[in-house]
Amino acid sequence: MKIFKFGGASVKDAESVKNVSMVLKSQGFDKCLLVISAMGKTTNELEKVVELYFKKEDYQTEIEKIKQKHIEIAKGLFQNNHVVFDEINLFFDDIVSFLRRNKSPNYNFVYDQVVSCGEMISTKIVSEYLNDIQFINQWLDARDYIKTDDSYRDGVVNWQKTEEFVSTLNSSQSYVTQGFIGSDDNNFTVTLGREGSDYSAAIFAYCLNATAMTIWKDVPGVMTGDPRKFENVSLLSNISYEEAIEMAYYGASVIHPKTLQPLQQKNIPFYVKSFIDPTKEGTKVGASEKNQSEESYILKDNQTLLKIFTRDFSFIAEDHMSLIFTHLAKYKIKVSLMQNSAISLALCLEDKFLKIDQLNEELQKVFKTEVVKNVSLFTVRNAKMENIGKFYQEKSVLLEQIAKNTLQMVTQ
């Protein structure tokens, strides 16, 4: 079975959905599982609904806008009396109904129940359209298959249960399902983190022993840098799992960091290709004699630089490190870069749950700290060390680190 993942940009409107069918026609739809994201910017729009709900402001008007956008997309794909219009109305009625009766003050819980609806609606539209044009498929609710703990907005997959459920699928059929979502033991929706649809595809690929997995993007494949941020970048046609994992960890947006591990464990070939021109080769990630190690550039924005000092000029010892990392785990703050000296520790942090102020307050009970928000982490992989001087030009460097052929700097 093949696994194809289509992101929000590839299903943003009716013409884009039709283009998905053209991609499938060029690749072959037989024995294929499609993982589909929410349409366009729907996830951002549903996040706004959750914010308005907790502010006790008018969220229903925003829901109605999102609903009308999906109805307009459906009008470009179906006859007016098609059953899909009832399905769309039902999904949005469910959002309103949930928010009216909800008693939970847990923002992350509410977020997952609301924002996940974007994937449910998009997959229903795509599945119905493909069936109408004779790409016969079965629509699946991913929450019935991907089982997680109750870490809302950052679910941890229960692999044993997930494999058990996914293994019941018939690998000779084709399916359409959602990325980004699973469910806990109480069958509440749990999301896998922003951009988690790639990870969902990898979970299905692993559990189904897929022959290959392809994610379809609006770029030719994995590039030596984001073409929107860097000039003169080129396509990496072949890279190893290890190189892809490093690039994803450092912030390469084209690959979700968790995606590679399950694929590597079963040596499942992974392709990144363009839905704009599906005939192009794209990038193959896996074991190959053709694997490249080109100089590549990654810019990770919205980081926080936290410097921690002992109050009495004593060394930053193991007990200090243990305390610091216990607090980081507590607030689910990810370390992108760390550097320690005798009496200080500098951390470049990714704070997706906006907990840095709480972390800092805790740490100040024991340490002195300095916080610099809205910094960027610039990484050069496979750097040509004789030419690294050019990377420092016109940059305010707050922290730098060189390990082997990887240069990293935190900049303002």
For the domain covering 296-411, report its CATH number: 3.30.2130.10
- Find the mean pLDDT for residues 335-360: 94
pLDDT reported for residue 100: 97
User: Confidence class of residue 315 from pLDDT cuts 50, 70 and 90?
Assistant: confident
Bridge partners of 75, per DSSP, are none
Is there a binding annotation on residue 6?
A: yes
Is there a binding annotation on residue 228?
A: yes
Instruction: Give residues with Cβ within 8 angstroms of 9, minimum separation 6.
Output: 16, 40, 217, 218
Strands 367-381 and 296-310, bridge-based pairing: antiparallel
Tokens describing residue 384: 């040509």
C-beta of residue 349 within 8 angstroms of C-beta of residue 306: yes
User: Confidence class of residue 99 from pLDDT cuts 50, 70 and 90?
Assistant: very high
Q: Which long-range contacts (CB under 8 A, 24 or more apart) does 326-329 make?
A: 327/359, 327/362, 327/363, 328/359
CA dist 204 and 355 (Å) reads 32
**DSSP SS3 for 130:** helix
pTM of the model as a whole: 0.89
The DSSP call for residue 221 is: S
Backbone angles phi, psi at 404, to 5 degrees: 55, -120
The amino acid that residue 366 corresponds to is V
CA dist 155 and 149 (Å) reads 6
Is the pLDDT assigned to residue 195 strictly greater than 90? no
CA dist 376 and 409 (Å) reads 8
3-state secondary structure 340-356: ECCCEEEEEEECCCCCH
Is the pLDDT assigned to residue 253 strictly greater than 80? no
What is the per-residue pLDDT across 128-163, written as a single tens digit (0 to 9) for each? Answer: 999 999 999 999 999 999 999 999 999 999 999 999
Is the pLDDT assigned to residue 199 strictly greater than 80? yes
C-beta of residue 255 within 8 angstroms of C-beta of residue 222: yes
User: Confidence class of residue 286 from pLDDT cuts 50, 70 and 90?
Assistant: confident
- Residue 156, number of CB atoms within 10 A of its CB: 12
- Find the mean pLDDT for residues 373-389: 91
**DSSP SS3 for 60:** helix
CA dist 365 and 222 (Å) reads 44
- Check if CATH label 3.40.1160.10 holds for domain 2-217: yes
- Find the mean pLDDT for residues 348-361: 95
Is the pLDDT assigned to residue 68 strictly greater than 90? yes
The mean predicted confidence, pLDDT, of the chain is 94
Backbone angles phi, psi at 344, to 5 degrees: -150, 160
Is the pLDDT assigned to residue 259 strictly greater than 80? yes
Is there a binding annotation on residue 155?
A: no
* Angle formed by the axes of helices 107-115 and 117-132, nearest 10°: 10
Domain boundaries, the chain: 2-217, 296-411
- Residue 249, number of CB atoms within 10 A of its CB: 16
Written as one string, the DSSP assignment of 8-52 is GGGGSSHHHHHHHHHHHHHH--TTEEEEE--STTHHHHHHHHHHH
Bridge partners of 38, per DSSP, are none
CA dist 199 and 180 (Å) reads 7
Is there a binding annotation on residue 7?
A: yes
Residue with tokens 């189904």: 208
